[in-house]
Structures are given as structure tokens and as C-alpha cells.
């Protein structure tokens, strides 16, 4: 319970910072003074003096980390672009090979945690190419930099404390803390708090090694997914074929219907045959609107959004898991979805904001706020309300009618 409470507190703190995270800020305090104060805090939190001094000796600010944190831009791509780049045939093939060569391990994991092997393999592929790309940055320096920085300091301060706890526990040495510029570690790119709270010593060697131990990596992933709500024996995502016409407002992650209800509305399997029977609830998910790919997202899909709040990432990870499990490639949809580049989405966001809709930061990303605003505008202009922009919507927003 204490572990879950600590993680929940971290997530709440992160959520409370979201509105401020993208605002310009200036670093007013000098780093050496900040570091001295942080070391005092770490000691007060029960971290040994040896770990504090060994881990933070000589650490300095990394301007490149701050620059990268200010300029993240990968997620502006549309779903088909994003999924094509990441859910590759090579990753599908290697994922299937992992399941075949580690059959007993994945069977044991499924029995202990209820998480299927393809789900874990897909995250493994996307996060580090099965351990081949874990990052080369000194994580402690990155975390100290981001903890000192004004943008998301409290969040990364908590992460730096947990990184020291991981060292104190004996899982890693300071020199082994090498990973991404954002402080993520290991083959699943766990933040230190996830490493600390959900790392599992599954090979029984006395430490949780998420950099080198396949059993530890796989079990820790399953433990984390279970902790955020994974439901054993239930599906996570299913590709479907949406009808040519329907009330598109129904296609919303917040609207859950029994699978039988979607069948009555004309939703079918990709090959046009009826959906399987059953009353398990799902949302109809149209990442590129009514003309693009369509999916039923089941309760387990929520864990994907907990792992990464980017809808494109979540769908891609869930789709890749289905491909590793044996599904064929997805259909491209019922037509040709309009494509918007970074500048196009920024223009759309400005028009929506000028019209009084809440879109958040003008960042060129078709995130949850922007999609909600798009749907609201579509309803206003009596356009199909599938939450995906079209040139017609942009024209209506530009003219006001």
C-alpha cells in the first residue's frame, strides 16, 4: 500500500504541474546551493551518506538536457506515420522469437501476474529494441539537472531521490545508471520511481537488475502493468471496421458500450464478419477519424495510457502486441484521412483557441484537449463529430460559419 500511495502521490504531483510545465520559466537559484540543500533533504529521507556522496560527487548541470526537455517534438506525427515507424515487421519478428525462446519465462509471468507475453514484448520492443537501445546518458546528472530546472523540478526531485534509493538498496551502482536524457533506466526505460516501486528480483540473485536480467525486466514490466490495473484474461485492443455512417460522437474513449452494442451499430471485424459475441465493454477508437483505422479499446487499454499518455504511442504499443500475438496488418480505414503536419495542427489550434475552445499549448500535437475541441467545433458546424480535423473544419473556423 505504501508503494502504491507513493506512486499515486507522484502522479498527482505530475498532473498538477501539467498546466505550468510548458510555460517559460527562469532558473533563479545557483546549482551548487541547490545541490547542497538537496543532499540535506536526501539524508533526511533516510538515504545513506555514502550513497549521497558517491552518486552526486562532481555532478553538474547539463544544458543539453534542459534544451531537449524544452523541444520534444516526436509526438506531432499522425497515427499512421507514428505506427508505421515504430510497429515494424522487424520488431514483430523479434518479438515472436522472444516469446518462442523464453516460453517458460512468459508462461510463469502470465501465471504470476496475468499479463500476456505479447503485451510485454511490444513494450520491450518500443522502449529499447529488446535492450539494444537503453540510452547513453548519465542518468544521475540528467535527473539532477531536471530537478534543479524550473520547468518540472518537483517531479524530477522525487525521481532523483528514488534513484538514490535504488542505489542504496543495492540494485545498481552509480556508474551503472546510464539511460535516457530524461532519467529513464533499463530495458523498459523505467523512471527511478517505477524502478524502485515495481522492480522485481525474478532471477533470485538478490537485486533487481533491469539493465541486464531478462527475468527481472519481464517480471518488473508485468508487476507494473498489474499495479496500474491490468485485468487477467481480458483483451486490450481489437481492430474493427467502422460503418460508413453512424453517430460519430459515439467514437470516444469515454463512451463504453458492450461489444454487442457496437455490433448493432454496424461495427464489424476487419474482414467484414460479425464481431464475437459477449458483453465486455469497449470504446470505439478512431485515431484518424471516420476514414482511418478503427479499434475497440477494452478496459486493459487504459493501462497503455497510464504507461504513456500519448494516444499514438498507446495505440501503437497495443497494436504491436496484437501483431506479435498473430494478428494480420491493420487496414488503413474506409477512405483517405486528411493529413496535417506540425504547422497545420498549430494553425488549427490557433483557430480553435481564437474561437474560444480550450486546446492548451499551441504545440502542433493532436492531443486529448485538441481532439475534444475539434469534436466540439464539429458539432457546432454540424460536421461529422469524429474528433479528427478536416480541411472543411479549418475553413469553417477561419470564416466563422
Pick the closest to residue 317 from 284, 295, 338, 289 (CA basis).
295
Is the domain of 318 the same as that of 369? no
Whether the per-residue pLDDT at 320 is higher than 50: the answer is yes
pLDDT, position 316: 98
Is the domain of 161 the same as that of 64? yes
Is the domain of 372 the same as that of 248? no
11-39 per-position pLDDT tens digit: 334 333 333 444 556 676 799 999 999 99
Please tell me whether residue 190 adopts helix, strand or coil conformation: strand
Report if residue 207 sits inside a domain. no
Is the domain of 150 the same as that of 52? yes
The CA distance from 115 to 361, in Å, is 36
Torsion angle of the four alpha carbons 231, 109, 5, 367, in this order, in degrees rounded to the nearest 10: -60
Report if residue 214 sits inside a domain. no
Report if residue 194 sits inside a domain. no
Q: Report percent pLDDT > 70 for the chain.
A: 92
The CA distance from 83 to 79, in Å, is 6
Report if residue 115 sits inside a domain. no
pLDDT, position 7: 39
Is the domain of 44 the same as that of 176? yes
pLDDT, position 334: 84
Q: By the 8 A CB rule, do 324 and 270 touch?
A: no
Report if residue 176 sits inside a domain. yes
- Which stretches of 49-177 are assigned E, i.e. beta strand? 137-138
Report if residue 337 sits inside a domain. no
Whether the per-residue pLDDT at 178 is higher than 90: the answer is yes
Question: Which domain does 391 fall in, by range?
Answer: 342-399
Report if residue 366 sits inside a domain. yes
Is the domain of 14 the same as that of 66? yes
Q: How many domains does the chain have?
A: 3
Average pLDDT over the chain, rounded to an integer: 91
Q: What is the CATH number of the domain that holds 150?
A: 1.10.8.350
pLDDT, position 75: 56
Residue 152 CA to its chain's centroid (Å): 18
Is the domain of 263 the same as that of 395? no
Predicted TM-score (pTM) of this structure: 0.90
94-151 per-position pLDDT tens digit: 999 999 999 999 999 999 999 999 999 999 999 999 999 999 999 999 999 999 998 8
Is the domain of 355 the same as that of 315? no
Residue 73 pLDDT grade (very low, low, confident, very high; cuts 50, 70, 90): low
Bridge partner residues of 25 (DSSP): none
Q: By the 8 A CB rule, do 187 and 78 touch?
A: no
**Burial label, 327 (beta-carbon count in 10 A; 0-12, 13-18, 19+):** middle
The DSSP H or E segment spanning 315 is helix 311-324
Angle at 190 between CA 189 and CA 193, to 5 degrees: 160
Report if residue 103 sits inside a domain. no
Stretch 180-202: mean pLDDT, rounded? 97
Is the domain of 355 the same as that of 273? no
**Burial label, 58 (beta-carbon count in 10 A; 0-12, 13-18, 19+):** exposed
pLDDT, position 76: 66
Pick the closest to residue 141 from 183, 176, 170, 186 (CA basis).
183
The CA distance from 203 to 372, in Å, is 46
Phi-psi region of 189 (alpha: psi -120 to 50; beta: other; left: phi over 0): left
Please tell me whether residue 109 adopts helix, strand or coil conformation: helix
Is the domain of 276 the same as that of 353? no
The domain boundary, picked from 324, 356, 387, lies at 324
Q: By the 8 A CB rule, do 229 and 303 touch?
A: yes
The domain boundary, picked from 324, 355, 373, lies at 324
Residue 74 pLDDT grade (very low, low, confident, very high; cuts 50, 70, 90): low
Stretch 363-381: mean pLDDT, rounded? 93
Is the domain of 61 the same as that of 146? yes
pLDDT, position 20: 42
Is the domain of 252 the same as that of 317? yes
pLDDT, position 103: 98
Amino acid at each position: 500500500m505504501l508503494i502504491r500511495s507513493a506512486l499515486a502521490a507522484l502522479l498527482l504531483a505530475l498532473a498538477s504541474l501539467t498546466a505550468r510545465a510548458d510555460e517559460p520559466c527562469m532558473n533563479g537559484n545557483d546549482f551548487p546551493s541547490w545541490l547542497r540543500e538537496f543532499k540535506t533533504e536526501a539524508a533526511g529521507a533516510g538515504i545513506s551518506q555514502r550513497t549521497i556522496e558517491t552518486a552526486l560527487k562532481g555532478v553538474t548541470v547539463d544544458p543539453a538536457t534542459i534544451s531537449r526537455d524544452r523541444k520534444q517534438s516526436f509526438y506531432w506525427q499522425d497515427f499512421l506515420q507514428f505506427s508505421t515507424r515504430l510497429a515494424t515487421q522487424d520488431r514483430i519478428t523479434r518479438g515472436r522469437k522472444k516469446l518462442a525462446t523464453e516460453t517458460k519465462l512468459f508462461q510463469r509471468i502470465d501465471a504470476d501476474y496475468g499479463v500476456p507475453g505479447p503485451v510485454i514484448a511490444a513494450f520491450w520492443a518500443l522502449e529499447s529494441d529488446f535492450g539494444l537501445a537503453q540510452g547513453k546518458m548519465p542518468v544521475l546528472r540528467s535527473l539532477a539537472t531536471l530537478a534543479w530546472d524550473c520547468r518540472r523540478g518537483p517531479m524530477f526531485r522525487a525521481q532523483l531521490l528514488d534513484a538514490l534509493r535504488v542505489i542504496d538498496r543495492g540494485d545498481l551502482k552509480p556508474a551503472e545508471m546510464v539511460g535516457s536524457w530524461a532519467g529513464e533506466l533499463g530495458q523498459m526505460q523505467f523512471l527511478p520511481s517505477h524502478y524502485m516501486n515495481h522492480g522485481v528480483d525474478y532471477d533470485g540473485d538478490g537485486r533487481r537488475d533491469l539493465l541486464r536480467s531478462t527475468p527481472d525486466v519481464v517480471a518488473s514490466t508485468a508487476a507494473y502493468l498489474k499495479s496500474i490495473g491490468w485485468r487477467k484474461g481480458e483483451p486490450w485492443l481489437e481492430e474493427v471496421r467502422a460503418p460508413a455512417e453512424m453517430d460519430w460522437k459515439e467514437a470516444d474513449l469515454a463512451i463504453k458500450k458492450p461489444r454487442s452494442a457496437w455490433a448493432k451499430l454496424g461495427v464489424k471485424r476487419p474482414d467484414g464478419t460479425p464481431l464475437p459475441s459477449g458483453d465486455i465493454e469497449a470504446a470505439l477508437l478512431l485515431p484518424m477519424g471516420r476514414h482511418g483505422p478503427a479499434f475497440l479499446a477494452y478496459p486493459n487499454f487504459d493501462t497503455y495510457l497510464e504507461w504513456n499518455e500519448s494516444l499514438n504511442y498507446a495505440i501503437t504499443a497495443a497494436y504491436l502486441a496484437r501483431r506479435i500475438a498473430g494478428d494480420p496488418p491493420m487496414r488503413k480505414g474506409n477512405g483517405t484521412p486528411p493529413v496535417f503536419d506540425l504547422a497545420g495542427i498549430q494553425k488549427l489550434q490557433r483557430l480553435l483557441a481564437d474561437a474560444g475552445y480550450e486546446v492548451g499549448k499551441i504545440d502542433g500535437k493532436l492531443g486529448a484537449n485538441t481532439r475534444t475541441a475539434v469534436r466540439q467545433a464539429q458539432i457546432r458546424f454540424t460536421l461529422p463529430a469524429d474528433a479528427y480535423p478536416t480541411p472543411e473544419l479549418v475553413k469553417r473556423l477561419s470564416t466563422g460559419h
